[in-house]
Structure 1
C-alpha cells in the first residue's frame, strides 16, 4: 500500500479503555490504526469499528519475537508508521510485603518489558525514516507513588525512566516522545484490568488495604472520560511542540503539583547539608 498524507498508528491494547477510545478517535480522522488484542475473538470486532481504517493483530507484548514480527507485518503492509502507542498493561494492588517475586515479574513483563519490546521494534523504522512519535501510556502512578500500589508504581516509573532517556537519544532523528500520565478514568482499569497480590496481611488494612477499598468504591465513578482523553491525545500528536510529560485529568495535575511542592520543600530544607559532599582542595 502506498504512503499517503494520513498517518498510520500502532496501538497496543485496543480491546477496551484508552486504547479503544484512541483508536476510534484516530479512525474518525480517517487515519489508519493497527491495534493489538489478546484474543482471536476480538479481531473482527476491532476491524469492524471502521472498515478499511482499523486492523487488529493478536499479540502478547511480553513475547519479543512476536512483537517484532507483528510490527514488521504492519509496516510492510502500509510502508508507513507514524505513531506508536504503548497502552497495553494492567494494574496491581498489594503492599510491598504482600507481593511475591513471581507477581512482581508478571507486572514488569507486561508494563515494562512489553512496552520496551514494542518501542525497540519501532525505533529502527522511526530512526531510518527520520520521524515518528511515541505515546507511552504511563500513569500519574508513574510519577507519584501510593501505598498499596508500589509494584504498579515501579513498573510505570521504569517505563518513564527509559522513555525520558530515549527522548534525548532520538531527538536528532525528529522522533518525539510523550509520556502520558492519566489519573482516574472511567475504564476497566480498576475492574477487570486490575490484579491483587495473593497474600493478604491484616497489618496493612489501614494503608494498602484502605487504598484498595477506595479504588473499589470509586470504580465506575471516576471523574475522567476516556473519550475526552483520546481527543487530547490526538491534539498532542497533531501538535508541532508536544510535551515530554502530559498529566491527564484534573486529579493527575493536582497529584503531580503536590509531589513537586513536597520535593521542593525537602530540597530547600536539606540543601545546606546535602550539598556539602565535595572534596576539599
Structure 2
C-alpha cells in the first residue's frame, strides 16, 4: 500500500500541486505551457509496473481534461510520454532480491521486470536530446516548429512503437464492439449529451 501512495504522490498529486500553483499566473497573462512528464506506460500499461502505469494514466486523464479547460486562456498543455531513457531512474527503484511472488514467476510480468532491470544502462533514449526536444516543442523552434497543436509528445522509438500498438488494439476493440456499444442505449433520439 505504501508503494501505491508513493507512486501517486510523486507522479500524480505532486504534478497537480505544481500545476495548480502555475495556472493563476498563466491565466492572468493569458499564455503559458504546462508540460506534464508522463511515460509510454501512461498510454500503454506495462506488466510488472501497474502502480507506476496507473499513476501516469491518472496524470494523462487530468491533462486531457485541463487542456480543454485552459485553452480559452491561451494556456497549452503538453503531455510528454517518455520511453526508456538512459538515466539513473532504475537506481532509485526499490528492487527486492525476489521481485516476483511464486505465482507470477515465468509470466509476462516477471519477464518484463527482468528485461527492464537487465536493460539498465543500455536504454536507447538520450536524456539530453529529450530535454532539447521538449524545449523546441514548447518554444516552437527547431524540430518542434510544426508541433504547436500536439497534446501528446511520445519521445523515443519505444514510446512511438508502444503508442502505435495500443492504438491498433484500441481501434480493433472499438470496431469489433461497435454494434453492441451502439445497441446499449435507450430507444430514443440522441440529444447530444454529453457533448462529444
Measured in 1, the distance between the counterparts of 2:139 and 2:156 equals 19
Are the aligned partners of 1:112 and 1:158 in contact in 2 as well (CA < 8 Å)? yes
For residues 88-146 of structure 1, give each alpha carbon's deviation from its aligned partner in whole angstroms, at most 9, with x where no partner exists: xxxxxxxxxxxxx2220111111111001100011111111111111111000000001
Measured in 1, the distance between the counterparts of 2:45 and 2:172 equals 17
| Cα displacement (A) at 1:272 | 1.2
State whether structure 2 residue 81 is matched by structure 1 residue 181: yes
State whether structure 2 residue 40 is matched by structure 1 residue 140: yes
Structure 2 residues not aligned, in runs of 5+: 189-196
Out of 191, 195, 201, the residue aligned to residue 94 of structure 2 is 195
State whether structure 2 residue 26 is matched by structure 1 residue 119: no
How many pairs align? 180
Measured in 1, the distance between the counterparts of 2:182 and 2:149 equals 34
Are the aligned partners of 1:236 and 1:242 in contact in 2 as well (CA < 8 Å)? no
Measured in 2, the distance between the counterparts of 1:199 and 1:221 equals 21
* Alignment partner, residue 139 of structure 2: 238
Aligned residues: CA RMSD: 1.6
Structure 1 residues not aligned, in runs of 5+: 1-100
Out of 245, 250, 264, the residue aligned to residue 157 of structure 2 is 250
Tell me the TM-score normalised to structure 1 length. 0.61
State whether structure 2 residue 7 is matched by structure 1 residue 107: yes
Measured in 1, the distance between the counterparts of 2:8 and 2:131 equals 25
Give the 3-state SS of the residue equivalent to 1:275 in structure 2.
helix
| Cα displacement (A) at 1:203 | 1.0
| Cα displacement (A) at 1:227 | 0.9
Report the structure, 1 or 2, having the larger strand content.
1
* Alignment partner, residue 192 of structure 2: none
Give runs of ≥4 in structure 1 deviating > 6 Å. none
Report the structure, 1 or 2, having the larger helix content.
2
* Alignment partner, residue 222 of structure 1: 123
| Cα displacement (A) at 1:196 | 4.5
Measured in 2, the distance between the counterparts of 1:137 and 1:193 equals 17
Q: Which has the higher contact order (CA 8 A, sep 6+)?
A: 2
